[in-house]
Amino acid sequence: MQIDRRFADYALTGGFFLICQLPILWILDYRPNIGDVLKELGLATGIELNPIITGIITGFASALAVIAVFVVGLILDLSASIFRWHEMKVFARHLDHNSEWMTAFIEAHKAYCRPDYETFRRVIREPPPRRVAKVFTWQFRIAREYERLLNFFTSYVLGQCGPAQLTLMADQYSLWRTARAIAVALWLLSIEAVTLSNLGLLASLVIIAPITWAILGLCLLIIRGPYSRLCFTLFSLLYTVCEKQIVPQKNAEPPAP
C-alpha cells in the first residue's frame, strides 16, 4: 500500500469525523470567540491584533488542525476492528461459495493454512453466545485464524499477479479501509448523540433513538458492501492464479496407461 494513499485516506476519514462534530457543536451553542480569549491573555487590544502574533497563531493553528485531522483518521482506522465480526461473516460466506476449488488450494498449502481454515470454518458456524462478554471471547477465538487466512490469500495474490491486477486489488483494499473508518466515525457520532440526549443537551431520546438505529444500519451497509467487493476481487484473483498453476501441471503429467 502506498504511503501517500494511506495519508490521503487518513485525511479523508479524519476530516469527515471532525465535520460531523460541527452540527453537534452548533446545536450546543459552542462558538467561542478567539478574540475574547486573546484579550484575556493580553495579546489583543480591541479588535485588532498584532500582525506578528496573528501570523504565529494562524500558522500554529493550521499545523495543529492538519495534525489533528491525520491523527483522528489514524485512530479511526485502528478502531475499525470493532466491526471485525461482520467482516468475518462475509469472509466465511465467500469461503463456502468457493469451497469446491478452495479445498485443493488449502491442501496444497496445508503446512501453513489448513489448521486455520478448518478452525475458522468450524467455529464461525457455531451459534454465538447470548452474553456480551462471551461474544467477544467467542470472536477472539477465530480472530487470529481469520487474519492469517486473509493475509495469506492477499500475499499469495500479490506475489503471483501482474501490475493491472494489483492496482485493482489496491483500489478495493483502500476503499474497504476508508469505508471502515467512516463507519466507525458514524458509530461514534451515534453514541455521542445518545449520550448528550440522556444528559438533556440534545433532543429527547425518542427522537434520537430512531436516527441512531438508522445510522447503525448505515454503518453495517458501509462495512459489508466494500468488504464484499474486496472478497469478490480477492477470491477471483486467487482462483485465476490457481488455474494458471494447475493447468500446466496437468498438461505436464504423462497420460495414464
Give me the residues paired with residue 49 across strands. 44
Instruction: Please say which residue of 61, 80, 99 terminates a domain.
Output: 80
Mean pLDDT of 125-138: 64
Give the domain extent around 227.
Answer: 82-249
Same domain for 187 and 128?
A: yes
pLDDT level of residue 98 (50, 70, 90 thresholds): very high
pLDDT, tens digit (0-9, with 9 covering 90-100), for 50-72: 566 666 666 666 777 777 788 88
Same domain for 61 and 181?
A: no
Same domain for 55 and 97?
A: no
Same domain for 135 and 207?
A: yes
Higher-pLDDT residue of 36, 96? 96
23-27, 98-102, 123-127, 194-198: range with highest mean pLDDT: 98-102
Mean pLDDT of 213-231: 89
Q: Which of 5, 2, 4 is nearest to 178 (CA)?
A: 5
Same domain for 153 and 204?
A: yes
Whole-prediction pTM:
0.74
Alpha carbons within 13 angstroms on the beta-carbon side of residue 186 total 20
Does some domain include residue 140? yes
pLDDT, tens digit (0-9, with 9 covering 90-100), for 136-186: 666 677 888 899 999 999 988 888 777 777 888 888 888 898 888 899 888
